[in-house]
């Protein structure tokens, strides 16, 4: 099966590194014109210069800060006045680590702004064009914690679960417009985010980071961390014509980590 996204326009959040970057790269390899977003213009320019253009693509970037919701709204709103997209990949940096006894209400509000409000607002902007053209793919980068909460990531557990439930509701409403909405549930990919979390955990437990890594891998049946490129393959498929009957789902990409059905 060949995945072709030629003549499609994609919009990928949090795409200067890690999973977001890998997703943007794979969508471009598959033929899509990609708009990438992050806080660092220097990194964005570097990534844009490396994306393939052999299928006539025209790539763009937006400098945004997901932690400044009002400014984020202004930038995204202005973009969609003159642009439409076929594929929307909602992805942001994760909120701070910590358990339920450590976090205050203000922490949950900040995480809600970061993960939920930006996702809903961006999707609402993209939906106008998708509904007009009777086609769209919306993919939300979420976490396995949607199904099995991780004790040290209570903010992510709570808000990503809200995103997943909202996405299911949205899928029901937009299916008649040939628009699909799916969540990908991220397991352990050795990105900068996971490395930072593991370093903090190692420091708090006064153990080597290698021991923390092995503790995580003991829960992954395939015995390794995921490669961000593998994430790109999944998203490219969900963004394609071949995935037109898949919607309203939570799809784990975790090496078999989740124990629930």
Q: Which residues of 204-222 are buried (b: 16+ CB within 10 A; e: fewer)?
A: eeeeeeeebbeebbeebee
Distance CA 161, CA 172 (A): 17
Percent of the chain predicted with pLDDT > 90: 84
**Nearest to 9, CA basis, from 83, 61, 90:** 83
Q: Provide mean pLDDT across the span 239-250.
A: 98
**Sheet-wide strand order for 9-12:** 60-63, 33-38, 9-12, 87-90, 136-143, 179-186, 249-253
**Nearest to 123, CA basis, from 67, 180, 71, 176:** 180
- Does residue 195 surpass a pLDDT of 90? no
Helix extents (H) in 206-248 = 209-217, 228-238
Residues 6+ apart with CB under 8 A from 233: 26
Q: How many CB atoms lie within 10 A of CB 72?
A: 22
End-to-end CA distance of the chain: give it in Å, rounded: 28
Do residues 54 and 224 lie in contact, with contact meaning Cβ atoms separated by under 8 Å? no
Between residues 216 and 52, the one the model is more confident about: 52
pTM, two decimals, is 0.94
Strand, coil or helix: 57: coil
Instruction: For residue 184, list its beta bridge partners.
Output: 141, 251
Distance CA 23, CA 77 (A): 23
Work out the angle at residue 174's Cα, subtended by the Cα atoms of residues 234 and 165, and round it to the nearest 5 degrees.
65
- Does residue 261 surpass a pLDDT of 90? no
pLDDT tens for 110-150 read: 999 999 999 999 999 999 999 999 999 999 999 999 999 98
Backbone angles phi, psi at 59, to 5 degrees: -95, 150
Residue 175 banded pLDDT, cuts 50, 70, 90 = very high
Q: 9-187+227-251 adopts what CATH topology? A: Rossmann fold (3.40.50)
Residue extents of the structural domains in the chain = 9-187+227-251, 189-225
């Amino acid at each position: 099966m060949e995945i072709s996204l030629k003549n499609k326009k994609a919009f990928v959040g949090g795409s200067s590194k890690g999973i977001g970057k890998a997703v943007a790269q794979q969508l471009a390899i598959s033929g899509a014109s990609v708009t990438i977003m992050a806080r660092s213009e220097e990194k964005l320019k570097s990534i844009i210069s490396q994306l393939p253009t052999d299928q006539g693509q025209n790539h763009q970037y937006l400098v945004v800060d997901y932690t400044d919701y009002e400014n984020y709204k202004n930038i995204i709103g202005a973009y969609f006045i003159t642009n439409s997209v076929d594929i929307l990949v909602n992805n942001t940096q994760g909120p701070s680590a910590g358990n339920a006894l450590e976090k205050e209400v203000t922490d949950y509000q900040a995480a809600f702004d970061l993960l939920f409000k930006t996702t809903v607002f961006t999707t609402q902007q993209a939906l106008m064009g998708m509904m007009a053209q009777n086609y769209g793919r919306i993919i939300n980068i979420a976490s396995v914690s949607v199904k099995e909460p991780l004790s040290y990531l209570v903010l992510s557990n709570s808000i990503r679960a809200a995103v997943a439930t909202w996405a299911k509701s949205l899928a029901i409403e937009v299916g008649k417009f040939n628009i699909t909405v799916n969540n990908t549930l991220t397991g352990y990919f050795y990105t900068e985010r996971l490395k930072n979390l593991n370093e903090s955990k190692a420091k708090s437990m006064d153990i080597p980071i290698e021991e923390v890594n092995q503790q995580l891998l003991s829960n992954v049946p395939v015995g390794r961390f995921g490669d961000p490129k593998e994430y790109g393959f999944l998203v490219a498929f969900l963004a394609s014509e071949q995935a037109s009957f898949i919607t309203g789902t939570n799809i784990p990409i975790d090496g078999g980590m989740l124990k629930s059905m």
